Amino acid sequence: MRYTIAHPRRRNSYRLTTFTAAFLASVGVHAQDANTGAQHMQGGLEEIIVTAQRREASLQDVAISVAAVSGNMASLLGFGEPQTIAEAIPSLTYNRSATSATPFLRGVGTPSSTIGNEPSVATFIDDIYVNNGNPAVFDFNNINQIEVLKGPQGTLFGRNATGGVIHIRTKNPTHEPEAKIGLSYGNYDTSGLQFYGSTGLTDTIAANIAAYSKDQKEGWGKNVYTGRDAYDRWGHGLRAKVLFEPTDATSLLFNLSYDKSQGSQGVAGRVLEGTHSITGYAPQGVDFYDTTGQDDNVYTTDFTQASFKLTHDWSAARFVSITSYSDVLSDAKYDIDTSPVPFFYAFIDQKAKTYTQEFQLISPDDHEVSWLLGAFLLRDEAQFLTTYQGSALGAIGGTGLVNAAQDTDSISAFAEMSTEIMPQTRLTLGLRYTQDEREFEGSTRSPTLNFPTVADDATFKEMTGRLSLDYRFTDDVLGYVSYNRGFKSGIFNLGGLSPGASSPPAAAEPEVLDAYAVGFKSELFDSRLRLNAEAYYYDYKDIQVATLVVGQQIITNAGAATIKGIDIDITAVPVDNLTITASINLADGKYTSFPGGPQNYPLAPDAPVPIPSRGCAGSPPYPAANGVTPIAVDSCDLAGNDTVNTPSVATNLSLTYRLFAGDFPIDISGSWTHKDNYYFETDNNPGVKQPKTDILNASLKFNSPDERYGLMFWVNNLTDEEYYSYITQSATAGTKYSPAPPRTYGVTFNAHFY
Q: For position 433, what pLDDT does the model report?
A: 96
Q: In the structure, what pLDDT confidence band is assigned to residue 665 with cuts at 50, 70 and 90?
A: very high
The DSSP secondary-structure symbol of 710 reads: E
Residue 361 in any domain: the answer is yes
Q: For position 50, what pLDDT does the model report?
A: 75
Q: For position 257, what pLDDT does the model report?
A: 93
The verdict on 618 and 699 lying in the same domain is no
Q: How far apart are the C-alpha atoms of 604 and 727, rounded to whole Å?
A: 16
Q: In the structure, what pLDDT confidence band is assigned to residue 536 with cuts at 50, 70 and 90?
A: very high
Q: For position 281, what pLDDT does the model report?
A: 82
Q: In the structure, what pLDDT confidence band is assigned to residue 60 with cuts at 50, 70 and 90?
A: confident
Q: In the structure, what pLDDT confidence band is assigned to residue 423 with cuts at 50, 70 and 90?
A: very high
The verdict on 115 and 230 lying in the same domain is yes
Lowest mean pLDDT among 257-261, 275-279, 394-398, 400-404: 394-398
Residue 6 in any domain: the answer is no
Q: How many structural domains does the chain have?
A: 2
Q: In the structure, what pLDDT confidence band is assigned to residue 528 with cuts at 50, 70 and 90?
A: very high
The verdict on 450 and 538 lying in the same domain is yes
Mean pLDDT of 79-101: 76
Closest CA to 338 of 280, 396, 389, 387: 280
Domain boundary among 637, 659, 689: 637
**pLDDT tens-digit map of 136-152:** 566 777 888 888 999 99
The verdict on 612 and 464 lying in the same domain is no
H, E, C per residue of 296-330: CCEEEEEEEEEEEEEEEECCCCEEEEEEEEEEEEE
Q: In the structure, what pLDDT confidence band is assigned to residue 615 with cuts at 50, 70 and 90?
A: confident
CB 65 within 8 A of CB 519: yes
The verdict on 567 and 424 lying in the same domain is yes
SS3 688: helix
Q: For position 33, what pLDDT does the model report?
A: 35
Domain boundary among 613, 637, 661: 637
- Expressed as residue numbers, the domain containing 623 is 600-637
Question: Residue 722: is its pLDDT beyond 60?
Answer: yes
Q: In the structure, what pLDDT confidence band is assigned to residue 11 with cuts at 50, 70 and 90?
A: very low
The verdict on 573 and 583 lying in the same domain is yes
Residue 560 in any domain: the answer is yes
Q: For position 504, what pLDDT does the model report?
A: 83
Q: For position 320, what pLDDT does the model report?
A: 95
Lowest mean pLDDT among 214-223, 538-547, 611-620: 611-620
The verdict on 619 and 512 lying in the same domain is no
Q: For position 141, what pLDDT does the model report?
A: 78
Contacts of 28 (CB under 8 A, 6+ apart): none
Question: Residue 24: is its pLDDT beyond 90?
Answer: no
Question: Residue 155: is its pLDDT beyond 80?
Answer: yes
Mean pLDDT of 689-711: 95
| Cis? peptide before 447, omega within 30° of 0 | no
Q: For position 189, what pLDDT does the model report?
A: 97
Residue 132 in any domain: the answer is yes
CB 345 within 8 A of CB 308: no
Contacts of 646 (CB under 8 A, 6+ apart): 104, 106, 107, 563, 587, 588, 589, 678
Residue 726 in any domain: the answer is yes
Mean pLDDT of 624-647: 79
Residue 412 φ/ψ, nearest 5 degrees: -150, 155
Residue 393 φ/ψ, nearest 5 degrees: -105, 25
Q: For position 733, what pLDDT does the model report?
A: 75
Q: For position 84, what pLDDT does the model report?
A: 67
The verdict on 166 and 132 lying in the same domain is yes
Measured in whole angstroms, the distance separating CA 261 from the mean position of its chain's CA atoms is 17
Residue 91 φ/ψ, nearest 5 degrees: -75, 0
Q: Provide, rounded to the nearest whole percent, the portion of the chain with pLDDT above 70.
A: 88
Q: For position 42, what pLDDT does the model report?
A: 58
Closest CA to 670 of 9, 87, 56: 87
Question: Residue 330: is its pLDDT beyond 60?
Answer: yes
Q: In the structure, what pLDDT confidence band is assigned to residue 79 with cuts at 50, 70 and 90?
A: low
In CATH, what number is assigned to the domain containing residue 514?
Answer: 2.40.170.20
Residue 9 in any domain: the answer is no
Among 70-74, 82-86, 243-247, which range has the highest average pLDDT?
243-247
Mean pLDDT of 687-701: 93
Residue 3 in any domain: the answer is no
